[in-house]
């Protein structure tokens, strides 16, 4: 069988009814029940009925994406799927990867990500932060453009803009205060970026403005018991595999206000001799990034019974 990695998506891939295709699969049903019990609310109803606006609230998006990723993982295991050689997660998806690797139970992870989401939203009032995707420009030029834009506000200014998601060689997401992000978009387009797309998010995730949220999260992480990983997990803040609980906690703390180094994560998977990456959870965002990062890699998606069968066939072909 082909050696492979499982990667878990983060915010942005959620949709109303995203678990419907699994039908009444026991693994999905049990996953929804476990997370609902942990949070004291009916997540199945939220996912099945929405509305879309409710799913888009980060305090809901983070738990439902965790659940969706874990549900797909548990179906894979229940249907006799092989164990991946390594796992990773994009941003929030790292929590799904932690559950898959056995570091956290879903009952532990669900309240953690709900707390993380609430702390992030409280750290920066809605409307004062922003994020934008910069397309068609090298990451180093994006970083330089952010520094140039921030400098226009003067040395004592509180305006901030930073590169926060290194998604593929020609797509970098920036985040920070609204005025600084808008200025950076102007600067970067003037320097040759193909597009600068404002993202419909409620907070500047992974920017230094999230430090107050991370400090709150740190206390919750300290109070949570972490088990030793059963599957190697490449984290996205250091692009490292950790086994010590305290080092895993510290990486999650810093991840909340540090960049997602996804291009490097995919490179680290490739360095292990793995050329097949399976996105476990709703959508095909990460599977698409894989090919743009390295044309020699195969990206697949696992989000319903049909794609589960496709992935199984892919791994034995």
Do you find a cis peptide bond into 94, omega within 30 degrees of 0?
no
Sign of CA dihedral 52, 203, 200, 137: negative
Q: Cα(108)–Cα(308) distance, rounded to whole angstroms?
A: 27
CB atoms within 10 A of CB 5: 27
Q: Cα(277)–Cα(295) distance, rounded to whole angstroms?
A: 12
98 contact partners, CB below 8 Å, separation of at least 6: 89, 104, 109, 229, 233, 248
DSSP characters over 158-217: ---EEEEEEEETTEEEEEEEHHHHHHHHHHHHHTT-SEEEEP--SS-TTSGGGHHHHHHH
Q: Given 91, 96, 101, 207, which residue is catalytic?
A: 91
Q: Cα(148)–Cα(170) distance, rounded to whole angstroms?
A: 19
Contact indicator for 64, 293 with CB cutoff of 8 Å: no
Residue 191 bears catalytic tag:
no
DSSP code of residue 136: S
Contact indicator for 112, 99 with CB cutoff of 8 Å: no
For residue 59, what are its two tokens? 């305090």
CB atoms within 10 A of CB 133: 17
Q: What is the CA radius of gyration of the chain?
A: 19
DSSP code of residue 8: E
Q: Given 36, 101, 206, 207, which residue is catalytic?
A: 206
Residue 36 bears catalytic tag:
no
Classify 286 as helix, strand or coil. Answer: helix
Q: Catalytic site residues?
A: 91, 206
């Amino acid at each position: 069988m082909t050696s492979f990695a499982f990667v878990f998506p983060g915010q942005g891939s959620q949709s109303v009814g995203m678990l419907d295709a699994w039908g009444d699969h026991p693994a999905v049903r049990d996953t929804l029940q476990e997370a609902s019990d942990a949070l004291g609310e009916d997540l199945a109803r939220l996912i099945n009925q929405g509305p879309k606006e409710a799913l888009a609230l980060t305090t809901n998006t983070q738990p439902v994406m965790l659940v969706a990723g874990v549900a797909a993982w548990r179906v894979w295991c229940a249907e006799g799927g092989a164990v991946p050689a390594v796992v990773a997660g994009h941003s929030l998806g790292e929590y799904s990867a932690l559950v898959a690797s056995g570091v956290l139970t879903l009952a532990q992870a669900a309240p953690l990500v709900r707390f993380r989401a609430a702390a992030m939203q409280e750290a920066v009032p809605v409307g004062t932060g922003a994020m934008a995707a910069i397309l068609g420009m090298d990451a180093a030029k994006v970083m330089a453009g952010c520094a140039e834009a921030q400098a226009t506000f003067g040395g004592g200014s509180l305006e901030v803009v930073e590169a926060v998601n290194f998604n593929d060689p020609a797509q970098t997401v920036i985040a920070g205060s609204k005025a600084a992000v808008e200025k950076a978009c102007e600067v970067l387009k003037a320097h040759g970026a193909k597009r600068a797309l404002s993202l419909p998010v409620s907070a500047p995730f992974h920017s230094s403005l999230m430090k107050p949220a991370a400090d709150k999260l740190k206390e919750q992480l300290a109070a949570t018991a972490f088990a030793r990983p059963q599957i190697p997990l490449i984290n996205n803040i250091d692009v490292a595999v950790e086994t010590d609980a305290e080092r895993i906690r510290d990486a999650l703390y810093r991840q909340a206000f540090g960049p997602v180094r996804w291009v490097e994560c995919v490179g680290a998977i490739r360095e292990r001799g793995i050329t097949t990456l399976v996105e476990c959870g709703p959508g095909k965002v990460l599977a698409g990034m894989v090919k743009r990062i390295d044309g020699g890699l195969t990206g697949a998606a696992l989000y319903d019974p049909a794609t589960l069968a496709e992935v199984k066939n892919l791994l034995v072909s």
